[in-house]
Structures are given as structure tokens and as C-alpha cells.
Amino acid sequence: MTPPRLAVIGLGGIAQAVHLPLIQRNRDRVELAAVADLSPRALEEVAGGYGLGPAHRYRSAAELAEAVRERHEQVDGAILATSGTHADDALMLVRAGVRVLAEKPLAYSLDEVDRLVDGVERLHRDPAEWIRVGYMKEHDPAVEVASRLLESASVRAVDVEVLHPADDRQLRFARARAWGDADPEALARSRSRMDEALERAVGGVRDDKSGRALYATVILGSIVHDLALTRHLGVPLERIFHASRTGPSFPGSVTVSGSTRGAPWTLGWHFIAGYPEYRETITIHHESGSLEIAFRTPYILNAPTVITCRSAGGADRSDVAASAWPQEEAFDRELTAFLGLIRGEDAPGSGPREAREDLVVAQRLWRACAVSAGVRVDPSSEAGGRVPDGATFDDVRNGRER
């Protein structure tokens, strides 16, 4: 069987640290067919390093999609690792017959996701069979175990803690390069699309401490992973009682108090530039014990997640069991699932509809932070008018959030 041919679009840090090395590691079952980036030097140096000649280097997703449509290039799947929103590029690629794994966020606005889903369905295709979102943590073996353990658990509390150092402390090992020679006009078009999407999502609030930067870079740039993961575990953030951004400088800290399944749901997200290493812990207490999932720096491959389970071993005993999977990698399992999707299998992972659910919760979270900061939320924006405080998770899932 001929291995699937993949394209990597966007040659930044995550492509250099994760996606390209994983494709190379799995070269017996997948082939790197093409790359795309706005930077000519990135195309020359990165693509050249992986043995791709000039004929397989593209300046954009649109250019690649056109080459596939014209049969100048054969690509079965594409990893969208560009910055910003991915919905329009994803639709363009699906129209060319290419399945897509899009890094988060899939989109900034609900309108973008709705256009994407509608566009794919107009092709008489199921979005769930063509698009996956890069929530790698839901592929982690520790998360798989936690999901099984929580199926019948009576949850009492969910607590999420993220300690986020500066990016250099997470990516220095990768020796990732940035070139700075992208076409200014192409960059301007990309920023314009991003601004339009942000305008629809949160309106005209631009102040970093409570505006677009908080929404785009903190909530959708990081916290959305926790929103998606707790949703995947069956303990989503259903209601928000209070949320705020604090700290003397941006991004500072974001704290959330809410509920899930009638139990408290809390989050503390803290950007501490000099913190020794990234740390993310999700603790779930239930009627018969607790489980804790501790994630390490996400971009270091084979840095195993640890799940610790506490349970009553008898009248006078407490059992504590910790497990890790050093030979299993979340990103690698994500790639395996995507290759299954390309082959037409029923592959695990979140698609556009799940991403939309997360986007609704993200907008509600942003709005709660804005309100606590005394910022007027534009009622014509999605966050201001389309996602009321009383919407439950079931409302969102069934399209009743308006």
C-alpha cells in the first residue's frame, strides 16, 4: 500500500519541533510530499533539509491547493501549522480533496466555523471525516485511561492549573528558526483576515489586558487546550460564575470559577516568564477518590504524561498508583489517527463541531474577563450577543446558544 502523502503548511516552531520530525520518524508509513510558508528562506532551508526540491515548495495553502487541483502535486493530507485562523485554508484544501489536521485554534469566530462546515457539506462531505483539530492531549495515553475511569464516576470537583513560562523555555531545545523575510503584502492580507474574524468574535476592544490579545493569544492560544480536554473527559466548563485577568503586565494570570455536571470547575492559568518549565495539571475529585493528570512541556516528544490515581484500598488504607507511557507519544498518536482519517477509517479526534463548542466557551470566558475588568462588550459581536451567560453545554452542542 502506498503511504499517505502529507504537506506541512507553516514552517514555524511547532512544525520544526514536532510535525516534521514525526513525519521523518514515521517515514515507513507516511511521506512528506510538500511544504508551504510565506518565507522564501524557510522554504529553502527547511524543505531542503528534508529533501524536498523547489517543485514541492509553496508560498501558501492556496498555492498548494491549486497545484493539487491541477494535478501538479499529489497530497492526501495537510497539517495546517500557520499562525492565526485556519478555517478558510481548511475549506480550500478540502475542496481540493485534501484532508486537514489544523492546529488550534481552528478559527477565531463562530461565523468562520459555520462557513467551513457549510462549505464542506455543500461538497456532500462530512466535516468529521475530513477535518481534525490539533488537540494533541486528547490522544495522550494517560488521557485515554482517565476517560475510562471517569465514565462511571460521580465527579465532585475539577481543578486546572497551568504554569506557562516564556516560549523560549519550551522551544529552545528545538533550535527552531525564524526568518523574517515573508512577503509584506501576504502578511498584511493574513492580518486583515485575522482582524476581521476578531471583530466578529469580540468586537472592537483592543486593549491587551481585556481585549483581542487576551482572546486570541491567551484564551485561544493556550487555555482552549484545557477547555477542549475537559470537554473530551466529560467534565466541560458548562457555566461560568466569574473570570478575570490579573497581573501587572500582560498576559499575567487568568482565573475562572464555574461548574460542570453540578460540581465546581476552576482554572488558574499563570504566565510566569522565568518559571523553570511548563506545567499543566488537571485534578478531578470523585466520590471514590481522585485522579491527577500532569503534563510536561508539550513540544518535547516522549516526555510522558503522568496520571496518578488515589482510591480507598480498604478501611485503613489509601492506594496511590502513578502510571506513565514513555514509549507512547501524544503527537505521534495524533498523527496515527490522522493517517487513519486519510484512509477513511473511523479515527478518533475533535472536528469542526467540537471546535465550535470550545469556541463558544472561549467567547463566554473572554466576556466574563472583560466584564470583570469593567470593559463594555460590543453587543453586536458574537461574544456580546450570540453566547448568553445562561447557555449550557447541551445548548451549545445542540445549536441553541443564540
Q: Which of 130-134, 185-189, 265-269 has the lowest mean pLDDT?
A: 185-189
Does the domain at 5-136 match CATH 1.20.120.160? Answer given as: no
The strand ranges marked E within 261-362 are 263-271, 279-286, 289-295, 306-314, 317-324
Amino acid at 184: P
pLDDT at residue number 209: 64
Least confident of 176-190, 228-242, 281-295, 323-337: 176-190
- Report yes or no: 277 and 300 within 8 Å, Cβ to Cβ: no
Q: Which of 157-166, 223-232, 368-377 has the lowest mean pLDDT?
A: 368-377
Label residue 315 by pLDDT band (50, 70, 90): confident
Express as a percent the part of the chain with pLDDT over 70: 94
pLDDT surpasses 60 at 387 = no
**What's 203-260 look like in SS3?**
CCCCCCCCCHHHHHHHHHHHHHHHHHHHHHCCCCCCEEEEEEEECCCCCCEEEEEEEE
Given a cut of 50, whether residue 392 has pLDDT beyond it is no
In this predicted structure, the answer to whether residue 172 has a pLDDT above a threshold of 50 is: yes
Task: Tell me which amino acid residue 195 is.
Answer: D
Structure confidence at residue 82 (pLDDT): 95
pLDDT at 208 over 80: no
H/E element, 362:
helix 352-372
Q: 317 pairs with which residues across the strands?
A: 314
Which residues of the chain does CATH 3.40.50.720 include? 5-136
If pLDDT is split at 50, 70 and 90, which confidence band does 394 have?
Answer: very low
- Above 50 in pLDDT, residue 396? no
How many DSSP H helices and E strands does the chain contain? 16, 14
Whether 316 shows a pLDDT value over 90: the answer reads no
- Please check the confidence at residue 397 and state whether its pLDDT lies above 80: no
DSSP-assigned letters across all residues of 167-204: THHHHGGGT--------HHHHHHHHHHHHHHHHHHHTT
User: Above 70 in pLDDT, residue 137?
Assistant: yes
Architecture of the domain delimited by 141-329+351-397: 2-Layer Sandwich (3.30)
Q: Tell me, what's the pLDDT at 207?
A: 64
- Over residues 41-83, the pLDDT tens digits come to 999 999 999 999 999 999 999 999 999 999 999 999 999 999 9
Residue with cell 470593559: 375
State percent of the chain over pLDDT 90: 80
Q: What is the model's pLDDT at position 294?
A: 98
The predicted-structure confidence for 84-130, as pLDDT tens digits, reads as follows 899 999 999 999 999 999 999 999 999 999 999 999 999 999 999 99
Q: What is the DSSP letter of 76?
A: S
Q: Specify the higher pLDDT residue, 400 or 128.
A: 128
Average pLDDT over residues 318-322: 94
If pLDDT is split at 50, 70 and 90, which confidence band does 400 have?
very low
Residue 250 in this model has a pLDDT that exceeds 50: yes
Of residues 398, 397, 402, 387, the one with CA closest to residue 240: 387
Q: What CA–CA distance (Å, rounded) separates 254 from 234?
A: 23
Largest CA distance in the chain: 71
> What one-character-per-residue DSSP string does 48-72 give?
HHTT--GGGEESSHHHHHHHHHTTS
User: What residues does CATH 3.30.360.10 cover in the chain?
Assistant: 141-329+351-397
pLDDT one-digit tens code per residue, 25-41? 999 999 999 999 999 99
For residue 394, count other CB atoms closer than 10 A to its CB.
9
Place of cell 446558544: 401
Mean pLDDT of the chain: 92
- pLDDT mean over 345-356: 96
Confidence category of residue 205, pLDDT binned at 50, 70, 90: confident
Mean pLDDT of 144-154: 94
